[in-house]
């Protein structure tokens, strides 16, 4: 069985949880190669841009918490850095 790439897993979980009208997930790991927390093979640094109605009435911190909750602790433990641009 092939393992899902982390970016695909992030996208799948956010689509399932929020049904966003806009969602982009970028693997920025190559930009961080060689520094602490950047494993060989990448898949450690990501940027997410999400627009979903449910996020609109939340504070910035609440949006970030909602994204983290949607991804789950197991996936978050595999990510070294996650930049989140979230809005309603």
Half-sphere exposure of 53 (CA within 13 A, CB side): 2
Of residues 76 and 30, the one with the higher pLDDT is 76
pLDDT in tens, 52-63: 999 999 999 999
Whole-prediction pTM value? 0.84
pLDDT in tens, 9-53: 999 999 999 999 999 999 988 775 666 555 555 678 899 999 999
Domains in the chain, please, with CATH? 6-87 (3.30.300.90)
Is the pLDDT reported for residue 3 higher than 90? Answer: no
């Amino acid at each position: 069985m092939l393992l899902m790439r982390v970016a695909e897993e992030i996208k799948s979980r956010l689509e399932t949880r929020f049904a966003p009208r806009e969602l982009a997930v970028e693997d920025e790991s190559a930009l961080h190669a060689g520094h602490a927390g950047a494993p060989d093979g990448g898949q450690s640094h990501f940027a997410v841009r999400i627009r979903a109605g449910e996020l609109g009435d939340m504070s910035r911190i609440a949006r970030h918490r909602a994204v983290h909750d949607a991804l789950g602790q197991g996936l978050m433990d595999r990510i070294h850095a996650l930049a989140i641009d979230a809005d309603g």
